[in-house]
Amino acid sequence: MTRFLIILSIIYIISAIYGFQGFKTLFKSSWVHLVYGLMFLAALANFIIRVLNYTPGDGVRGQIANAGGIFFAFLLLGLVFGIFMLLEDIVRLFVFGYNKIAGLSETQNKFFPSRRKFISGIAMGIAALPFGALLYGMYKGKYNYKVLKYQLEFADLPDAFDGYQITQISDVHSGSFDNRKKVAYGIDLINEQKSDVILFTGDMVNDKTKEMEPWSDLFASLEAKDGKFSILGNHDYGDYTQWESEEAKAQNLVDLKNLQKEMGFDLLLDTHRYLKKDGQKIALIGVENWGRGGFKKAGDLEKAKTGIDKEDFKILMSHDPSHWEDVVINDDYHFHLTLSGHTHGMQFGVEIPGWVKWSPVKWRYKYWAGIYEELGQFINVNRGFGFIGYPGRVGIWPEISVITLKKKGLT
């Protein structure tokens, strides 16, 4: 860790110094230069202090997460600025060499200062975009909750469930929260939807049950006529932190299950329930985490669907959308609607409804955000209520999904 920190710090310092060449071309005031230097130094010092005082097993959250976010914003600013200056210097070197060989006079080369100022201006404009976006994502974007509404039609939906409304939330990651007022606002938004049922699709915590305890009263206040149900996500098992013993890790999972019960969630562990209305029913199935690419494969779909009739209308809760792609859509039981999360939309991307939907996470997950349909079956991949790692969101906002089921052909 120390070696990595030293290398990263050296890269940071070099980029800051090299980028300063362009900065001072645009701004001549020594006070502005001093502010530039102090801001870069403060971001570096804060990051180093947080890393050196970090206790393994605490998870990347709170002050160290914020310090890391600010550090990488400044690192990116310096790198973009520095790359432009480096390219300009390379061009300058080649032109200088050519002029020497060709015997051109210095008076023929007076355009360099103005060109450097022009390039520095372009560099600052480009560098400011990701820098500003990362800082905005940390201080505004991470709690910029969006209610996304979908209406899905099914020919075999029981008539009584025409218009039935589901609110889905996912990936709370309570260990990352740092603003009770904002989280409470998100909870109020969920309750304002007045859905028939609330479904939570995993990752209540980053690592440990204690992360959820300060927020449990807020999530306990969630209400829906037909109740609220939950499943486990990959982070809920405590696999990404250090434990004093395997017994402590196992107890943490027991504590999390108990806490979910205390908050009023019916935790579905490879099992199912029936939602009933006017003498008709739909099956709600919940599996433990099943993920591709090194993620825990604890989910047992066969066990979960035992006792369900093939003809039942089925809603499946499965945290990782790769489970839907690899297993669920080819299962002979035909799961009408699957609800997942996990990807967070990488907490970074560009979405303009009807025009653009892009995030780097699309290179890892084919189904990464929103509604998809395959073989007459739907999945909604929720973008997540919380955040982890980078303490913010840029372009991919925290989501509350509201899905209304409609009977196809029923007026």
Tell me the two tokens of residue 141: 């974007």
CA distance 350 to 81: 23
Task: Report the C-alpha gap between 276 and 267 in whole angstroms.
Answer: 18
Amino acid at 210: K
Q: What is the pLDDT averaged over residues 225-231?
A: 97
Residue type present at position 128 = A
Expressed in angstroms, the distance from the first to the final Cα of the chain is: 63
Other CB atoms within 10 A of residue 286 CB: 28
| Rg, the chain, Cα only | 26
In a 3-state reduction of DSSP, which class is residue 408? coil
pLDDT of residue 238: 95
Q: Give φ, ψ of 243 to 5 degrees.
A: -120, 150
DSSP, collapsed to helix, strand or coil, labels residue 50 as helix
| Residue 222, both tokens | 């969630």
Three-state secondary-structure class, residue 192: helix
Q: Would you call 268 helix, strand, or coil by DSSP?
A: coil
Question: Domain spans of the chain?
Answer: 2-139, 145-407
- Alpha-carbon distance 376 to 329, whole Å? 9
CA 250-215-238 angle, to 5 degrees, is: 25
Considering the chain, what is the average pLDDT of its residues?
90
Looking at residue 395, the DSSP 8-state letter turns out to be: S
Domain 145-407 has CATH 3.40.190.10: no
Q: Is the predicted pLDDT of residue 220 greater than 60, yes or no?
A: yes
- The closest alpha carbon to 22, from 92, 112, 85, belongs to 85
- State the Cα–Cα distance between residues 67 and 69, nearest whole angstrom: 5
Reported confidence tier of residue 353, pLDDT bands at 50, 70, 90: confident
- What are the tens digits of pLDDT across the range 91-137? 767 766 766 776 655 544 554 566 667 777 787 788 888 889 999 99
**Alpha carbons 93 and 277: distance in angstroms, whole number:** 77
What is the CB neighbour count within 10 angstroms for residue 400? 24
Pick the more confident residue, 9 or 104: 9
Q: Is the pLDDT of residue 57 over 80?
A: no
